[in-house]
Structure 1
Amino acid sequence: MLMKKTTLVVCAYHNVGYRCLEELLRQGADVRLIFTHEDSPTEEIWFASVRELADRHGIPWRTTDVNLPENQALLRELAPDFLFSFYYRNMIKGEVLDIPRCGALNLHGSYLPRYRGRVPVNWAVINGETETGATLHYMVEKPDAGDIVDREKVEIAFTDTALDVFNKVTVAAVTVISRSFPLLVAGTAPRQPMDLGAGSYFGGRKPADGLIDWTKGAKQIYNLVRGVTHPYPGAFTFRAGKKVIIWQAWPVAGSGAPGAIVSTAPLVVGTGDGLLEIRTLQEEGAPEQPAAAWIAATGLTGGTFAND
């Protein structure tokens, strides 16, 4: 336990928010207020509730934007030593970042400066990376650009989905908070300037971005499939005018015209480089099912998957 308590305000959501907040409380931090989000009715809520954790510890919380004038006034009244952001979805304005006495810090789900920006885990998987990580850094107005305090790498296996990697990143995030928070309290935490020139920035993704381009290679399409499969909206294509979500697939050797069904046992589709075996899918208006069951139900013997 820490020798003295440090007052905090925490902006948190999702599993990273839950687990990092839990670690701060384990270390004895005095969390005065939490800002979080209302769950969206259009989003699959598969992650832990920061609000429930706050309630169990008797910590007040708000779901209104931390940047609102009334919330800024409350922060100035609380005068916290630190402000932490753990997967909080709103950009935090400079006037808010200036309030905490010892600084405002963010936990980002990549090994910065690589994959600055939105949904870094999904992008890393989609791009076929073999590693990513979690980074604690000071916040400035430019996204994910402040001095780095600590980082932890994680491996991305070729079989990992984005959810698998997100779970690994969550563990890495807790590791980073566990060893960094005592140093921050003691005033001895390192500060490494962010080398933005050595990194990369990616924007957010929409469900429509999951459209499969069959002219790309089988490995690229496979990476897209595993990068946006459950609990995300999924990679999709079209057959006979119906949307088909590909939930699970695997690249295999061979060749075929992009989008052409070259085999139905198993279901194999041509790409711009190699073949893609489709293992689990979901046609519009039907349940998710193994490819063999879909073939049997539709009586499919060939054809082509298209972009629309």
Structure 2
Amino acid sequence: METANRIIVCAYHNVGYHCLEELLRQGAEVAMLFTHEDSPTEEIWFKSVRKLAEKHGIPFRTSDINEPANIALLRELRPDFIISFYYRNMIRQEVLAIPVRGALNLHGSYLPKYRGRVPVNWAVINGETETGATLHYMVEKPDAGDIVDQEKVAIAFADSAFDVFNKVTDAAVTVIRRAWPRLTAGTAPRIPMDLTAGSYFGGRKPADGLIDWTKGAVQIYNLIRGVTHPYPGAFTYLDGKKIVIWQAWPVEGIGGPGCIVSAEPLLVGTGDGLLQIKSLQAEEQEEVAADRFTGDQNLKGKSFSATN
């Protein structure tokens, strides 16, 4: 007798690791895992889904699920579900049509807001006070299918994107814990997504971390906390050298955009208010606290710039 919970999992990152862990805890029959090889150019700070699969004897592949050989394998396996957890390849319609009971994706935002790439970073950069995790059916258009379940999380003003990502990971596990029994029982809801209530966001590159000092201190602060460790960081230039600002805080005051108005504490003018820099890193040097940075050089009359 065939089971009704045979699943193909496409997963990567901490969300993928912990959601797969939850499925296994609930006794899901994971027939195959598709994941990614780690990139040598990326800081790998997250858990390995591949190692979790190996621990549980789950066969896995790191080749693209859309490759013809993988599509043929999927048809042989005849899964009930395909579920994607932070899998980085767009899954084609031909693959989505294979599972008997549907293909679903766990997205790191409270859909329909922040559809698309790196939703946690975008939410922090844009100063949102909440986001979430959403399980939805996959359709040809990304992050647009019917919603099964979702969970909100709060974004505190002091939270970095890393802090929020951890909250979203916990929310994702909560969603899977609730939704998986309903999916296998055939009682899970399908709530149509109102795409007019949210927007689609693209991926970000390290170069997108360039600071525009004409923006307000709060906006710049949101950028800094949205791309700080373990992400590439927000950056500026001083005396032609690249400076990554890892930690800062907006304060009241007036100063020309980019102008260093105080060395101790290190205060920089913006388009609205001042930014107190707390931790930074000069090109080819180690990250240091602001007081150590200012003690090593004369900053009087100098400015941070968007160009080198």
TM-score of Structure 1 vs Structure 2, range by shorter chain: over 0.9
| C-alpha distance in structure 1 between counterparts of 2:250 and 2:301, whole Å | 19
Contact 2:124 2:223 in 1 (8 A): yes
* Structure 2 letter corresponding to 1:99: I
TM-score (norm 1): 0.98
**What is aligned with 2:145?**
146
Return the alpha-carbon distance in structure 2 between the equivalents of residues 219 and 52 of structure 1.
40
- Paired with 1:6 and 1:268, the residues of 2 have a C-alpha distance of 57
CA RMSD between the two structures: 0.7
Q: Per-residue deviation at 1:285? A: 1.2
Q: Does 1:62 align with 2:61?
A: yes
Deviation of the 1:200 alpha carbon: 1.0
Residue number in structure 1 paired with 2:242: 243
AA partner of residue 217 (structure 2): A
User: 8 Å contact 2:4–2:80 — kept in the other structure?
Assistant: no
C-alpha displacement of 1:301: 2.8
Moved more, 32-41 or 296-305: 296-305
The one-letter code of the counterpart of 2:55 is R
1:33 maps to amino acid: M
Alignment of 1:149-160 (within 5 A): 149-160=148-159
**Counterpart in the other structure of 1:85:** 84
Contact preservation (8 Å) 1:5, 1:29: no
Deviations 1:172-211, CA, capped at 9 Å, x for gaps: 0000000000000000000000100111110000000000
SS at match of 1:298: coil
- Provide the residue aligned with 1:171 in structure 2: 170
State the SS of the aligned residue for 2:296.
helix
Structure 2 gaps, min length 5: none
- Give the aligned partner of residue 73 of structure 2: 74
Q: Name the counterpart of 2:52.
A: 53
Q: Distance in 2 between matches of 1:194 and 1:69?
A: 31
- Contact 1:237–1:307 under 8 Å retained in 2: yes
Residue 148 of structure 2 contacts residue 191 of structure 2 at CA under 8 Å; is this kept in 1?
yes
For 1:102 and 1:298, the matched residues in 2 are separated by 64
TM (norm. structure 2) is 0.98
Partner of 2:203: 204
Q: Which residue does the alignment assign to 1:98? A: 97
SS at match of 2:24: helix
Match of residue 108 from structure 2: 109
Q: Distance in 1 between matches of 2:179 and 2:106?
A: 11
Q: Answer yes or no: is the 8 Å Cα contact 2:78–2:100 preserved in 1.
A: yes
Which residue in the other structure is 1:183 paired with? 182
Residues 1:28 and 2:31 aligned together: no
Q: Partner residue of 2:291?
A: 292
1:215 is matched with 214
Equivalent in the alignment of 1:271: 270
The aligned amino acid for 1:231 is P
- In structure 2, give the amino acid aligned to 1:86: F
> Contact 1:264–1:302 (CA<8 Å) still a contact in 2?
no
Q: Deviations over 1:15-67 (max 9, x none)?
A: 00000000000000000000000000010000000000000000011000000
Q: Secondary structure at the match of 1:25?
A: helix
Question: Which 4+ runs in 1 deviate beyond 4 A?
Answer: none
Q: Partner of 2:10 in structure 1?
A: 11
Task: Provide structure 1 residue ranges, at least 5 long, that are not aligned to the other structure.
Answer: none
Cα contact 1:36–1:88 (8 A) shared by 2: yes
Q: Name the CA distance, whole Å, in 2 between partners of 1:59 and 1:170.
A: 22
Q: CA deviation at 1:5?
A: 5.9
Number of residues of Structure 1 aligned to a counterpart in Structure 2: 305
